[in-house]
Structure 1
Amino acid sequence: MLKSKVAVQVISSGILPDDAIMLGETYLKQWKIPHVQPVMLKFGAFRQPVKVVSVERFDGMRIGQNLARRMGILASTSLRIQYRSETSTLSLGPLIGVLISRDDPTARDRPFGSITLFCKELVDACAVQGAHVYFFTPNHIVDNSSTVEGWVYAGGWRKIIVPAPDVVNNRLTSRKLENKSSVQQFLREVKSRHNTAIFNEKFLDKSEVFEALQKDTALIKYLPESHVLRSQKMLVAMCSKYSTVFLKPVRGSLGKGIIRISRLDKDSYQALYATVGGTRRQHFASLLKLFSSISGKMKTVRYQIQQGLNLIQIGGRPVDFRALVQKNETGKWTITSIVARTAGTNHFVSNLARGGTLSTAREAVSKSNLTGTQAQDAPARLQRAALEIAKGIDTHIPAHFGELGIDLALDSSGRVWLIEVNSKPSKNDNTPLPDQKIRPSVRNMIRYARHLAEF
């Protein structure tokens, strides 16, 4: 079996010219790398013709400091290696660039705020798998698409010039930033010029997801009736059909701005508004008055109106489920985790930001008001639904996704429903990890990056 990972040592530039590298002879023999004529050294968008010096009884690679600096490598590391004889190219990598929303150079220990621990975990996981990762923001993008300014970790966080990567993981959490012309131009250019793979390319709107999945007859069973709210007539029609409906901002997240509308009797309605402090209630004598109260907001916020569901509960508090689905080393969707989220007291949404609590899916179902065989096989049905929905997103939405947060629900009869799909699952989990363990979600992200970069 070919040796596919190599320990790269950075040595003094005086020992080795900038256009030469040392490589253990085992690698040269196995990969049939010539050591007479130069080969092209590739690392992300970086290219440099080099002569390969064979070293007996040495199981690694040595590169000079100047060459390493131009590659964005500050210290000895471990990388995947690959040689393609048809192009005489010796590739190291994969080089992964994670595009994040913001940084704070003055906070040296936490330059990325609440996701700093996730970023360091990614660095550690790359060291194990033989990959290299850096982090950059829209402000780090320069006119030249071959390089960016990025943060690397070498005994501490440092900002340096790095080559454009083999793979970009788009972790931008702001649509405004994602839609900046400089960001979109950079992503287009690295794709076309350097064959960079970009995953989680864009945000998903709630209406876009439901309209796309409705085209798939196998997925309709998971979809509550949903429409973009455009008129009072639509509100009246949905409220006539269902005793409870939800209004959700098409571009909302974390449960912000959700309104639950319930019919109390023939003419009166109650609206519950999700707020940080709890639930605000308001009564309306008619749907006309209710619609009038939200019509002002509709000038700036598009709402999706959705059939209300009778969710399973624990102690009177509704429960839903977040499935994290990720593509693996062969590019196939897999379930990384499914957690149950129980709404906090005085809240009707389950987000942790609203006081919700986490548990395993099986534990939540066992404590809920769901019973019998519907309860026993619920976790398996949730998994199946999440995978089918992820595949549906791939099929019906023209964008590249590598991980999705899929929010699901079980109703009181045990039926699985889709609530929403998030293309930027949160990485704010700052729970300390015992013994520097790396979460499966982080390992899987790197495996998929290796698949994309063909390492």
Structure 2
Amino acid sequence: MPVTSQVSSLPVPIGSDVALGVLVCERLRQPPFAEAGFIKRLCRIGRSQGIRLFAFAPWTWSQEDDTVRGWSWDDRNECWSSGPRKLPTVVYDRSWPESEAERNRFRLALRAIRDARRLLFLNGSLPHKGGVYEALMQDREIAALLPPTALYRGADSLAAWLRKHCGSAFLKPVAGSQGKRVVAVSSRQDGSVLLDGRNSRNRPISRRFDNEEGALRRLDGWIGRRAYLMQPLLDLRTPSGSPCDIRALLQKNRFGRWTITGIAARLGAPASVTANLHGGGTSASASDTLIRHFGASRGNELLREVRRCSIIIVDKLEQTFGRFAEIGLDYGIERNGKLWFLEANTKPGRAAMDSAGQEASILAAEQPLTYAKSILLRPPGRVIHEFDHL
């Protein structure tokens, strides 16, 4: 039986439009946007549930007739079809801007819509990773799961961190996702320093420097003006040397109650510093993975701990940042069995849930729509919270 939390109150009246729009970044290629396979699946599920669903980029909005260019999957002709669609009231953000220019275009276009129209976001948004860390640190039980974290303030701050943390560090951008532009710093006994990470295209990078000064100077130039966090370089690898983390997907059901849809393990390549699937990782059963590496007793205990802590964390995030429909939570486990909470993601992928069981795989795609349907079909007398983000 899935673990659930208390029912969320859904305190902006919704009109009669029962369409759900999926926000994307439309591009001149086929498929016309990222996650086309997932959105195709949403179109099919929506059709079976009586929901008109289409994907659209906010910059296609016409203020003159209040329409956008909507994309839907055509099962009969097995292709994507597009045409003008009335701007929906409720939107599900699955946009993945590929550059800063595209990110700015998306934000400006969405802001133009919101200046003229009221939009309800199915899922809320979180601040940068530093803001999430600070909020979760306020809860004593969650704080025990958080790795020490500090803001990167130049090469001198990293040098001081290395002296304090046995010559190693893990750096990640505060606004990053999918494991892009992370870097692990490791000092060697001969004075050399290794930098291993992933670039903006999520490709592995590795470089050895003869001394710390040269390594930190090069790294500082690579980071530039981007905001980064520093954390300990935790030993989150399996005995075979593959990086491993645990992804828990939490979603609200049609009653507005949090449920744990599924929990899966993600395994990266031995040479990688992350286990993200976007970086070439693979998924596996969390239960099998934990039992194999920690034994039945500790493995099952860790799984129960992940489930219990996940409900506490999403409740805390909602109390602090507003309402959500789904959140992905990532955990790391050191070889000694110590559990760490790594980060939260409000645009969680679905691929890992295929390894969490057939029910989890189905629910991962269905639950955003059953929850959206409960909002779209809510009687006019009921009101719901408008998520302000971007």
> Could you state the TM-score of these two structures normalised by the residue count of structure 1?
0.69
Alpha-carbon distance between aligned partners in 1 of 2:258 and 2:164, rounded to the nearest angstrom: 36
The answer on 1:181 being equivalent to 2:108 is yes
Instruction: Find the counterpart in structure 1 of residue 336 from structure 2.
Output: 413
Instruction: Find the counterpart in structure 2 of residue 260 from structure 1.
Output: 184
Alpha-carbon distance between aligned partners in 1 of 2:303 and 2:64, rounded to the nearest angstrom: 49
| Contact 1:385 1:416 survives alignment (8 Å) | no
| Contact 2:245 2:333 survives alignment (8 Å) | yes
Paired AA for residue 51 in structure 2: A
Q: Where do 1:225-374 residues align within 5 Å?
A: 225-243=148-166, 244-265=168-189, 268-274=192-198, 278=204, 280-286=206-212, 288-368=213-293, 370-371=294-295, 373-374=297-298
Quickly say closer, same or farther: Cα 1:315–1:232, change in 2 above 3 A.
same
Quickly say closer, same or farther: Cα 1:280–1:410, change in 2 above 3 A.
same
Paired AA for residue 282 in structure 1: R
Instruction: Find the counterpart in structure 1 of residue 383 from structure 2.
Output: none
The structure number with the bigger radius of gyration is 1
Paired AA for residue 279 in structure 2: R
Identity of aligned residues (%): 26
Alpha-carbon distance between aligned partners in 2 of 1:258 and 1:119, rounded to the nearest angstrom: 28
| Contact 1:326 1:444 survives alignment (8 Å) | yes
Paired AA for residue 440 in structure 1: L
Alpha-carbon distance between aligned partners in 1 of 2:264 and 2:377, rounded to the nearest angstrom: 32
Paired AA for residue 61 in structure 2: I
Structure 1 position 161, deviation (Å): 2.5
Quickly say closer, same or farther: Cα 1:238–1:424, change in 2 above 3 A.
same
Instruction: Find the counterpart in structure 2 of residue 88 from structure 1.
Output: none
Instruction: Find the counterpart in structure 2 of residue 381 from structure 1.
Output: 305
| Contact 2:126 2:132 survives alignment (8 Å) | no
1:151 to 56, 59, 71: 71
Q: Where do 1:128-207 residues align within 5 Å?
A: 128-144=48-64, 146-153=66-73, 155-156=76-77, 157-174=80-97, 176-177=103-104, 180-187=107-114, 189-191=116-118, 196-202=119-125, 204-207=127-130
Alpha-carbon distance between aligned partners in 2 of 1:384 and 1:171, rounded to the nearest angstrom: 28
Structure 1 position 289, deviation (Å): 3.3
Quickly say closer, same or farther: Cα 1:201–1:178, change in 2 above 3 A.
farther
3-state DSSP of counterpart to 1:346: coil
Structure 1 position 198, deviation (Å): 0.8
1:424 to 342, 347, 351: 347
Residues matched between the structures, number: 350
Alpha-carbon distance between aligned partners in 1 of 2:350 and 2:60, rounded to the nearest angstrom: 21
3-state DSSP of counterpart to 1:142: coil
Alignment gaps of 5+ in structure 2: 1-13, 355-359, 379-390
| Contact 1:312 1:412 survives alignment (8 Å) | yes
| Contact 2:58 2:113 survives alignment (8 Å) | no
**Deviation string, structure 1 residues 259-278 (Cα, Å, up to 9, x no partner):** 11223349554332336664
1:220 to 133, 136, 143: 143
Paired AA for residue 280 in structure 1: S
| Contact 2:243 2:270 survives alignment (8 Å) | no
Paired AA for residue 119 in structure 1: I
Alpha-carbon distance between aligned partners in 2 of 1:295 and 1:438, rounded to the nearest angstrom: 41
Alpha-carbon distance between aligned partners in 2 of 1:313 and 1:145, rounded to the nearest angstrom: 56
Alignment gaps of 5+ in structure 1: 1-43, 46-90, 432-436
Structure 1 position 224, deviation (Å): 0.6
| Contact 1:146 1:190 survives alignment (8 Å) | no
Structure 1 position 169, deviation (Å): 0.4
Alpha-carbon distance between aligned partners in 2 of 1:300 and 1:231, rounded to the nearest angstrom: 10
Alpha-carbon distance between aligned partners in 2 of 1:281 and 1:447, rounded to the nearest angstrom: 48
Paired AA for residue 68 in structure 2: V
Quickly say closer, same or farther: Cα 1:372–1:305, change in 2 above 3 A.
same
Paired AA for residue 362 in structure 1: S
Quickly say closer, same or farther: Cα 1:188–1:222, change in 2 above 3 A.
farther
Alpha-carbon distance between aligned partners in 2 of 1:427 and 1:190, rounded to the nearest angstrom: 31
Quickly say closer, same or farther: Cα 1:150–1:278, change in 2 above 3 A.
closer
Quickly say closer, same or farther: Cα 1:260–1:150, change in 2 above 3 A.
same
Paired AA for residue 140 in structure 1: T
Structure 1 position 350, deviation (Å): 1.2
> Could you state the TM-score of these two structures normalised by the residue count of structure 2?
0.79
Alpha-carbon distance between aligned partners in 1 of 2:376 and 2:41, rounded to the nearest angstrom: 21
Q: Where do 1:60-139 residues align within 5 Å?
A: 91=16, 94-104=18-28, 107=30, 110-112=31-33, 115-139=35-59
Structure 1 position 444, deviation (Å): 0.2
| Contact 1:100 1:137 survives alignment (8 Å) | yes
Alpha-carbon distance between aligned partners in 2 of 1:342 and 1:313, rounded to the nearest angstrom: 9
| Contact 2:350 2:365 survives alignment (8 Å) | no
Alpha-carbon distance between aligned partners in 2 of 1:145 and 1:309, rounded to the nearest angstrom: 54
Structure 1 position 393, deviation (Å): 2.0
